[in-house]
Structure 1
Amino acid sequence: METTAREFKQRSSQILAAAAHGETTTVTKNGTAVARVVPVTDDDIPPYPTDPMGALALPDLGLPDLSDDEIEDALRGRGTGS
């Protein structure tokens, strides 16, 4: 299926529903294809979390453990400097 950018804006719900049923839609602007709405398959979804809140391995920088209050004091220039 092909649609113009204006039609996509007006009919996005129907176009997304068509994608959910397996249909691919090409969106054109001034007669030139600019985007494609394609169905997502189970193969497209990675088997692991990709959000930024996943487990992170941070390097040990040898910095002291500070409480929230100590960090706030340091950021306000009232830190002890130790």
Structure 2
Amino acid sequence: MEATARELNQQSSALLDRVERGEEITVTRNGRPVARIVPIDHTTVPAFPPGPIGPIELPQIDLGPDMTNEEMQALLEGMGEDGL
């Protein structure tokens, strides 16, 4: 099916109902196709990754010796102040 941008604007709910039933809609502007609205196939595109993506290797970073809370406080002192 084809719909103009104006039809999409004025009849979006009805057009989305048609897409939900399985139709594909090509949206045109000034007679040229500019977009396609297609139903989502939930069997091929999961909403989120279904499981682990595999082992993750984190690089080893030498951050120097562990710091005490006092050393961290002294290091962070004044950070984020913008002088206001």
Same fold, TM exceeding 0.5? Answer: yes
Larger Rg: 2
Alignment of 1:4-43 (within 5 A): 4-43=4-43
Count of residues in correspondence between the two structures: 72
Compute the RMSD of aligned alpha carbons. Answer: 3.8
Structure 1 residues not aligned, in runs of 5+: 78-82
* Pair 1:63–1:38, CA change in 2 (3 A): same
Structure 1 ranges of 4+ moved more than 4 A: 64-67
Structure 1 match to 2:76: 73
Higher helix share: 1
TM-score by length of 1: 0.60
Structure 2 match to 1:80: none
TM-score by length of 2: 0.59
Structure 2 residues not aligned, in runs of 5+: none
CA drift at 1:63? 2.8
